[in-house]
Chains A and B, each alone.
Chain A
Amino acid sequence: QKEVEQNSGPLSVPEGAIASLNCTYSDRGSQSFFWYRQYSGKSPELIMFIYSNGDKEDGRFTAQLNKASQYVSLLIRDSQPSDSATYLCAVKEPGANNLFFGTGTRLTVIP
């Protein structure tokens, strides 16, 4: 059974702060990692993907991957109230085409 684990939260941060979201995965062979944002009652939308160890930055978002520790994180700088949502971590194994999702972390940015 593939496992992708996230802290369900809720995680609350003040506006302008850095929000840090974490995800661990069980399959050491996993190669593709995705972060989705899901607003209440809506479908998930892709924020970032990362394939290589290290950091990947896109605007206020930074994804960090450490394959040795089987750990992927998402940092949101200068958090805004509009960032309040559930963030889902997803992992794809080599040769597989389905994504395995974590349960998501609910983030609240307090104005």
Chain B
Amino acid sequence: DGGITQSPKYLFRKEGQNVTLSCEQNLNHDAMYWYRQDPGQGLRLIYYSQIVNDFQKGDIAEGYSVSREKKESFPLTVTSAQKNPTAFYLCASSMRQGNTEAFFGQGTRLTVV
């Protein structure tokens, strides 16, 4: 089945650790995105990528890093510099051209312990 797969579903991180969230899609979409959602809040854009080997900062990129070595994959690393990383992280993808919607993965819930 075509879709977007995020893993893991739940992730626990100790303070000071870096963790990497996985996002893989087989929809042949060019564009991929990472959003953060805090309880009762909307989605805030962390990073997005429109083509392989290129990505742009979103509104809240500090403390995060990404890579786009393959069209299918867009992993997000939450670094120790991110002071409040506990949140629900959503990966999405879309066609690069046209008025097309974004499709979302199931999300990763990250908790700092």
Interface residues of A (CB under 8 A from B): 1, 6, 8, 31-32, 34, 41-46, 49, 51, 88, 90, 92, 97-104
- B45 interface contact, C-beta 8 A: yes
Is A101's CB under 8 angstroms from B48's CB? no
Question: Which segment of B12-20, B68-76, B93-101 sits at the interface?
Answer: B93-101
A88: which of B40, B43, B105, B106 is its contact (CB, 8 Å)? B43
Supposing A43-B104, A45-B104, A101-B42 touch, asked if A51 and B33 sit within 8 A by C-beta, the answer is no
- B90 interface contact, C-beta 8 A: yes
Supposing A43-B107, A97-B31, A98-B33 touch, asked if A104 and B42 sit within 8 A by C-beta, the answer is yes
Residues in B whose Cβ lies below 8 Å from that of A44: 43, 90, 104
Task: Name the prevailing secondary structure of the A interface residues.
Answer: loop
Is A103's CB under 8 angstroms from B42's CB? yes
How long is the Cα–Cα vector from A1 to B102 in the complex, in angstroms? 21
Residues in B whose Cβ lies below 8 Å from that of A104: 41-42
- B58 interface contact, C-beta 8 A: yes
How long is the Cα–Cα vector from A101 to B35 in the complex, in angstroms? 10
Chain B residues numbered 25-75 whose CB sits less than 8 Å from any CB in chain A? 31, 33, 35, 40-45, 48, 50, 58-59
Supposing A43-B105, A43-B106 touch, asked if A98 and B45 sit within 8 A by C-beta, the answer is yes
10 closest residue pairs by CB, A with B: A103-B42, A32-B99, A43-B104, A101-B43, A97-B31, A98-B48, A101-B42, A43-B107, A46-B101, A104-B42
